[in-house]
A and B are shown apart, each in its own frame.
Chain A
Amino acid sequence: MATVSETRDETETARTLVLDVPGWTGHLPGQHVVVKLIAADGYTAQRDYSIASAPEPGRLEITVQRVDDGEVSAYLAGPVQPGSAQPGDQFELRGPIGGWFAWQPDDPRAVLLLAGGSGIVPLMSIIRTHAQVKSKAPLQLIYSARTPADIIYADELEKRTRVAPATVATFLYTRLTRYRGTLATAANDVKIGRIPGYAGRLSPEVLAKTAFPPELNPEVFACGPSGFVETAATLLTTAGYPPETIKTERFG
């Protein structure tokens, strides 16, 4: 059972819930939990959510992207009215689940993370764990979101590019039209702090320009909407990253 101890709005539609879970012994970054909500009349609804935090006894964080017509996400990440999870509220939680899409903190190999939208969440757990254990594995994130305002954990990611063990990060904006009042085009890149941003989608050019090369033999984690992950996996295998080094997780 989980008790909400704190909530934090990450973007207009994504909210982090800090959960106290007695008896929780930690997780591998990349794993998820099943959240089960029970209404007063016994009606239940359950969904999978990736863990966002680094492993810690008795506590974990999930970040929930509110989806259109979402039943569970409306409660976890919706407006206070007509009803959303507040500190002190409780629900059933099961996990950690999944041992495939998971990073082993003692793995010395380079890590390449490809995030589409809220697919950043399990990858953030990897980034935070990498910092927690002071890993020496080179770590890189390529994060595709609609606009700069849709970047979850923007401030923390910016900080993590500056503090050892540093994450190398690149942002891609798929629906960038206006940013700080200027019309952005592919040639007019946008930075958040020191993190470069490019208008457009993941492409062979972006991969070649920004990603750890296949020769470095990185372990790749790609997470996001199905279309993003399919594109990412195809681009990677075409560019020579071996299929067995690419782990994927998709939603929607």
Chain B
Amino acid sequence: MKILAVESSSLVASAAVWEDDVIKAEYTLNNKKTHSQTLLPMIDSVLKSSDTDVSEIDAIAVSSGPGSFTGLRIGAATAKGLGMALGKPLIAVPTLDMTAYNIFKSHALICPIMDARRNQVYTGFYKNESDFEVIKQSFAADIKEVLYELESLGDEVIFLGDGVPVYKEFIKNHFACPYAFAPAYMNRQRAGTLACLGAKYYRQGKVVSAQSMVPEYLRKSQAEREMESKH
């Protein structure tokens, strides 16, 4: 069983080859948003360096959102093109599920936050103490509302994700429960993690066809929002 994982939902671009519970190759960049140029060469690199022919891949795991609209589409289009050519399914893994899955065997509540601009974050609540649990699925909200909701749950919280640098001071000044910020080696999107969670979802039968997979933006386009506010 071989999974190719493709991640480009945020500033991070990442690709990994997973084979039978082993991450055989992984390539992650967190530098510039040039995913349209870098992603496919990175995929080629992880396949070549793990001596894997692309035709041996059984499924393609891809971050399904939320995230940068364009970034999500570059990842989705790449996965859909590969899946279509190979006749293989896709595993659409919510970006925040993947980010939370970086944390293992902790009693704390896991809260990945992504900067969604317009004073909002994309977030979700997770636990990974005995088994990975989605406590609250991905949603977009004001950081104040998120912290208020977390306080009502009363658990210790691990924050991670690219929203942390943006809201770190705010959390320090306003959050009443115990908390920690995850360190750099586990606080961003990574294709290795994506492949592992993808394998778990694959075994649960959570796959989609290459043709039907679409990103989950969690937010309408600006034009649609403006149109709705007029009516």
| A and B interact physically | no
